[in-house]
Amino acid sequence: MISVRGARPARARLAALGAYAPERVVTNAELASRVDTSDEWIVTRTGIRERRFAAAGETAGDMAVAAAEAVLASAGVTASQIDMVIVPTGTPDAMFPSTAALVADRIGAHDAAAYDLSAACSGFVYGLAQAAALVEGGMARSVLVIGSEVLSRVTDQTDRGTCILFADGAGGALVTADEGGTATGFLGFDLGADGSGGDDLVLPASGDREAVPGGPVPASGCIRMDGPAVFRFATRIMVETTERLLAALGLGIGDIDLVVAHQANSRIIDHAAERLAIPRERIFNTLERYGNTSSASIPMALAEARDAGRLRAGDLLLLVGFGGGLTWGSTVVRYEPLGAEVPA
């Protein structure tokens, strides 16, 4: 892409959504046949009944391509119009080339710049923040943000503390410039990171301290998580970031049409709903059927909410991500789709 400074400032518009879920359904019963757990424990402690696993050889890049194509189809926008592809992921096909570069090529976004973004389960909201800033700074007019994960491949399937949670999928959004238009766009963001809690949720990578020169890449390392510590962080931060952002915007929870939080554990969302007095019907969850898909969970849920008729053009959304880093990110944005298929 080429950007000429001084372009007219524009509102960044949340213009389209799309998602992809791999076919293979893995039920709690299947996990209970492998590790010492039960459907009852998993449902009560997490809200998850089943999740999807990618097929052998299916990568985050493959799933991101499917989600990106769904986003473009929903917007009626062609790939040649895309200036930037951002792929938040913790499970890229490789450290380089970036998964985003592969996706841009495969969807035909040949003029796009592309990069991956590492912010774990907050990645999608971080990606939206970057997309909004790029558009409003006049740097780009159309940005695809596609969260995609193959967590099944980096989860120890014999560890009952993690294998019940993490799963695969992809979802994304298109952020476009609305120059001189009527879009309200992104009202604000609250992003943060606290690396002092980094050890609570770790997925080792090629630069691991244990790696030796010329030795094998420790990419076989699986996710290590102190579940209760992350749980405490998540319950606290989901409430704090929401309160902080709404106060900064001068809004109350009653102004929000739909809340979509990172799908980590239904108990985290229930806790926040109670503390923030969010009515049940204003929360949309997909945990039951997809588990925790990290950076993909919020856009997968958004696309599903739209398809289920729970998301309407003009709705004010509160999106909240939290996870490894430890990181968090929330935004309030109006959904202003370009496509014609969404009822107003």
Active site positions, annotated: 121, 262, 292
List phi, psi (to 5°) of 227.
-50, -55
- Least distance in Å: CB of 51 to ligand UT7? 13
Query: Among 242, 255, 251, which Cα is nearest to 319's?
Result: 242
Structure tokens, 180: 């001189």
Nearest approach in angstroms of CB 124 to ligand UT7 is 12
Dig out the tokens for 33 from the structure: 């046949």
Residue nearest to ligand UT7 (CB): 227
Helix (H/G/I), strand (E/B), else coil: 328: strand
Q: What is the nearest approach in angstroms of ligand UT7 to the Cβ of residue 193?
A: 14
CB closer to ligand UT7, 161 vs 197: 161
Nearer to ligand UT7 by Cβ, of 178 and 200: the residue is: 200
Sequence-ordered list of residues with C-beta below 8 angstroms from that of 112, at least 6 positions apart, any chain: 1, 79, 82, 83, 84, 85, 104, 144
List the structure tokens of 280: 């049940």
Cβ-contact 332, 249 below 8 angstroms: yes
The contact set with ligand UT7 (CB under 6 A) reads 37, 41, 45-46, 121, 160-161, 164-165, 227-228, 230-231, 234, 264-265, 268, 292, 294, 323
Gap between the Cα atoms of 33 and 48, Å rounded = 16
Q: Closest Cα partner for 159 from 35, 31, 30, 46?
A: 35
Give 46 or 98: the residue with its C-beta nearer to ligand UT7: 46
Please, are residues 132 and 191 in contact by the beta-carbon 8 Å criterion? no
Distance CA 168, CA 20 (A): 10
| Closest CB 45 distance from ligand UT7, rounded Å | 5
- The C-alpha atoms of residue 211 and residue 201 are separated, in whole angstroms, by 19
Query: Alpha-carbon distance 64 to 296, whole Å?
Result: 9
Q: Least Å distance between CB 256 and ligand UT7?
A: 22
Closer residue to ligand UT7 (CB): 108 or 227 = 227
Q: Minimum CB separation from ligand UT7 for residue 218, in Å?
A: 21
Query: Given the complex with ligand UT7, which of 65 and 319 has the nearer CB atom?
Result: 319
Three-class SS of residue 135? helix
Q: Cβ closer to ligand UT7: 228 or 252?
A: 228
Among candidate residues 24, 70, 63, 53, the one with its CA nearest the CA of residue 303: 70
Of the two residues 88 and 185, which places its CB atom closer to ligand UT7 in the complex? 88
Retrieve residue 31's tokens.
């996990």
Q: Is 285 left (phi over 0), alpha (psi -120 to 50) or beta?
A: beta
Residue 49 Cβ, how far from ligand UT7 at the closest point, in Å? 14
